[in-house]
Amino acid sequence: MGTFEATSARQRLGFIPTTATRANIDVRTGAGAVGQAIGRAALTGASIIQEIHRKRQQMQDANSDVVASKLRQTADAEFRTFKLTNPQETWEPFRMQQTERVGAEIGKLQFSPNALALQQSKSQLYSSVENAQALTDATRQLRTDTIDAQTEALTDDFRSGDPVRIAEGARRFANNGDNMGKDKAEVLSDIQAARQAGAKLRTSDLVNSVNAAIETKDFILARSIAQDPAIPETTQTSLRNSITNAERQVLKQAQEQTGVDIVLKYWDNKLTDNDLDSAAAAGLISADNLDKWKKRVREPSALTTDPAANAQAMQANIDVSRGVLTFAEASQQIQDLAGKLNATDGKARIADLQKGFAAAQSEKVNEWITNGRAIVSPRFRGPGGLEALLAQFDFDDKERTNEQRRFDAETRLRENYEIALNQWFAAESRRRKEPISLRDIEDFSLRLRNSYQSLSRNQDVEALERTVQQQTTKQLARPRVTAQPLPVEQPSDVSAIPTAESAKQAEIRQLTEELKRRGQ
């Protein structure tokens, strides 16, 4: 029997394998060892799947959180828009509905249990903060509305001039001081400001009432209102002058119409002493004219017309149409010639007189419009206009362009001036329903001219163009007023003088009549 060595080959290698080392390299054999290996592999695969699900849920939570933030931001934007067009008392209820709706929509999103709990906490905080902020904003706006309403009411109380209303209004404003967030000093300052504003508005109301009474020719009421102590003394003086001038104008028109009525009745043989006495009592006929008509009333009107008298009446009408004589002066001349004119010719001369006066009015308006156009930019008047002006200077291209722009701007400014003047004239014609006095036309034209002239003075091209654009926008924003203008009668519309009269003779005659008139 052979003999074997006590050491193995592995021992000779210098190490001795242990049991743990054998187990780790899993060199064991048998059915139990194989089952354990398969179990460990299954556990490893399950953990990998679980990790994938966890990562997917994290990504889903992140995406849902973005959607939730967008829902809250959209609600915030909707609320800001809502506040712009809705009263403050609706702000808090609307915001509460919004936060509830946003919370419900966020609850429908896919969140993990932990993320959902976090979102619920966010929604509760968002709802609480935003509802409180809505209430704060509404309260702040309510305070602003309260200040505006109380200030306006107090101003109206002072505007009324009623001592009882003023006292009650001041007391009400002071009692609401805390609600408006104002201390005592601020309340007193606001009351004083409302007093001043109300006083100005009351003065404006009284002045407007005086002007309205003047328009309706209720001069007694106008004088009564003008004496109100709330109106400053300087304004009272101006109002009294306006009332006096209006009374004189009305009296003048009544006297002119009375003169026409008397002469027409005379030609119809219907004039009586009673008519003359009534006119004299009302101050509508002078003492001299009363004596003349008293003598003439007992005489029948002429059956035939004196050609010379008829020629004088026609010339007077032509002078009126040309602005040489006033309506009253021409009417007086026709009245003085009434005994030498028969009814047909006399009434024709009166009709000519009224047409001639209308022509004078319209021609005067056209004259002021024409003058107004030129006055706004006088440097562009004359033959050649802009081209003739620019040719006198050695402009470079930029300077020439600027001058062209300025010319275009001032041309548009003149057009705006013409529109404004025409609009005023149309509105006045409609409102008064009678000829506008030349003084009114002249005054308005001068004011308008000065206003437009100041717009174009000392402005560079860009500023002038902006000014013109603003004026054009204002003109377009105003409603257009249309009215039948007074007819522009030509001198040929008045009957020609039947007798020949040279230009020299006409000049001598007119000068003689003017000297006589001034000598009266």
Domains: count for the chain:
2
Is residue 461 situated within a structural domain? yes
* 358 and 504 inside one domain: yes
Is residue 127 situated within a structural domain? yes
| pTM confidence score | 0.43
- Choosing from 202, 220, 240, the residue where a domain stops is 202
Is residue 369 situated within a structural domain? yes
- Choosing from 181, 202, 223, the residue where a domain stops is 202
* 347 and 489 inside one domain: yes
Is residue 392 situated within a structural domain? yes
Domain that includes residue 403, residue range: 316-324+341-520
The pLDDT score that the predictor gives to residue 187 is 81
The set of residues, in sequence order, having a beta carbon less than 8 Å from that of 389 and lying 6+ positions away, is 379, 380
Is residue 440 situated within a structural domain? yes
Is residue 173 situated within a structural domain? yes
Q: Enumerate the β-bridge partners of residue 302.
A: 342
The pLDDT score that the predictor gives to residue 287 is 83
- Taking only the tens place, the pLDDT of each residue in 362-415 is 555 555 444 444 444 444 444 444 455 445 445 566 666 766 676 666 666 666
Hey, is 180 helix, strand or coil? coil
d(CA 351, CA 495): 11
- Taking only the tens place, the pLDDT of each residue in 437-491 is 555 665 666 666 666 666 655 566 677 677 767 766 665 555 544 444 443 333 3
Between the CA of residue 390 and those of 244, 397, 404, 415, what are the distances in Å?
52, 12, 9, 22
Angle value at C-alpha 519, between 515 and 520, nearest 5 degrees: 125
* 484 and 360 inside one domain: yes
What is the helix (H) or strand (E) element at residue 320, kind and residue range?
A: helix 307-321
User: Phi and psi dihedrals of 436, rounded to 5?
Assistant: -85, 140
- Choosing from 174, 202, 230, the residue where a domain stops is 202
Structure tokens at 294: 């008293």
Is residue 138 situated within a structural domain? yes
Is residue 83 situated within a structural domain? yes
- Taking only the tens place, the pLDDT of each residue in 134-153 is 666 666 666 666 677 778 88
Which segment of 122-126, 316-320, 383-387, 503-507 scores lowest on mean pLDDT? 383-387
User: Phi and psi dihedrals of 103, rounded to 5?
Assistant: -60, -40
Please state the rounded mean pLDDT for residues 80-99.
79
- Taking only the tens place, the pLDDT of each residue in 9-34 is 445 444 445 444 444 444 455 555 55
